[in-house]
Copies of this chain bind each other. A is one copy, B any other.
Amino acid sequence: MESLSEFEMIARLFAPMAGEGAFELRDDAAVLKPNPGRDLVLTKDMLIEGVHFFADDPPASLAHKALAVNMSDLAAKGARPRAFLLGLGRAERFDTEWLTAFAQGLAAASGRFGCRLLGGDTVKAGQLILSVTAFGEVPSGRMVRRETGKAGDALFVTGTIGDAALGLKLRLEPEVSWVRRLGVEHRASLRDRYLNPQPRLSLAPALLDHARAAMDISDGLVGDTAKLAPHLGRIIDIPAIPFSPAVQAAIALAPDLLDTALTGGDDYEVLCAVPPEAEEKFAIHALQLGVPVTRIGRLVAAETGALWRDLDGRPRHFLHGSYAHF
């Protein structure tokens, strides 16, 4: 495949997914205006080769993931996606063939999420860098905040926890005993959760209506529950935490994986605090929206600290609360 110049690349691969205000990516800036009565919600998640993904991950999966992790932030804020900018830092070994597959995956993700490309920047770099800035909309003044939960609020999570963390572990240590003993389908399902996160965009209306606070779970459930309400304590019932059949099977083979499931990253599920009087309405609304939610515990007064109750009712402690970059 011939090599494309920066401008051919933009025109051929990226311009087809450009949205209104992008001027077909033939300008140095784009224009965006929220719809009447709406605020723009801005978020920015960068993915770095060797830190957030592997150089040989399928390019279409990487494109999906770069957009999906940003959509996950928008979802947790109750926002509906609108547009994004892409900063692409590229080492030479990511050639035109790679770029073409990447752009195809990005166009598919952009279509699926209803989020159009408005512009960005393409530069030479020593490693692959995917720096997405995403824009969503919420009714004015109603973005669901992170630290606004109150003592007494129920904590809910969407979907299942720990799949992606085990998917990464399995990828890093394919020869360890539990991986070899885990069924083929379970392995495939964990791997897929790591590679292809599914942001919970359909939950947004239920969060706007009923949640007092919310965030997406990206750095591990243990650390992220602390970030949700650093000013409060929390009691979490580990037996209530939803695990997929694959994660359950893995933990049965190697009980230490429970820690990995609860402290590893990349879940891209939503964690939210719901006032007691709204618990039932929230659960029903989520059900109607097709999003599975599970109550895993409650926010309590700060004095309690973080109490994770194990299967036997005793507190469980974690060595590393969450993934930290620094």
Q: Counting CB contacts under 8 A, is A123 at the interface? A: yes
Segment of A29-37, A197-205, A243-251, A275-283 in the binding face: A29-37
> What is the bound-complex CA distance between A120 and B122, given in angstroms?
19
Q: A89 touching B129 by the CB < 8 A rule?
A: yes
> What is the bound-complex CA distance between A51 and B143, given in angstroms?
38
Q: B40 touching A40 by the CB < 8 A rule?
A: yes
Q: Which residues of B contact A131 (CB under 8 A)?
A: 44, 46, 87, 121, 129, 131
Q: Which residues of B contact A89 (CB under 8 A)?
A: 46, 48, 129
A41 CB contact (under 8 Å) in B30, B46, B52, B324:
B30
**Binary CB contact string for chain A from 123 to 166 against chain B (1 if under 8 A, 0 otherwise):** 11111010101001010100101110000000000000000000
Query: In the assembled complex, how far is the CB of residue A269 from the closest CB belonging to chain B, in whole angstroms?
Result: 14
Q: A87 touching B85 by the CB < 8 A rule?
A: no
Q: Counting CB contacts under 8 A, is A4 at the interface? A: yes
Task: Write the chain B residue with the least CB distance to A6.
Answer: B326
Say whether, besides A41-B31, A79-B29, A140-B33, A48 and B125 are in contact (CB < 8 Å).
Answer: yes
**Binary CB contact string for chain A from 78 to 89 against chain B (1 if under 8 A, 0 otherwise):** 010000010101
Task: Write the chain B residue with the least CB distance to A216.
Answer: B28
Say whether, besides A28-B73, A28-B76, A146-B26, A44 and B326 are in contact (CB < 8 Å).
Answer: no
**A contacts, CB < 8 Å to B:** 3-6, 9, 23, 26-34, 38-46, 48-52, 73-74, 76-77, 79, 85, 87, 89-90, 118-127, 129, 131, 133, 136, 138, 140, 143, 145-147, 215-216, 324-326
Can you report 10 A-B residue pairs in the complex whose CB atoms are below 8 A from each other?
A: A3-B326, A4-B326, A6-B324, A23-B146, A29-B42, A29-B136, A33-B39, A33-B40, A48-B89, A85-B133
Starting from the known contacts A30-B41, A31-B40, 7 additional A-B residue pairs (CB-CB under 8 Å) come to A26-B147, A31-B42, A44-B120, A46-B121, A48-B123, A48-B129, A122-B325
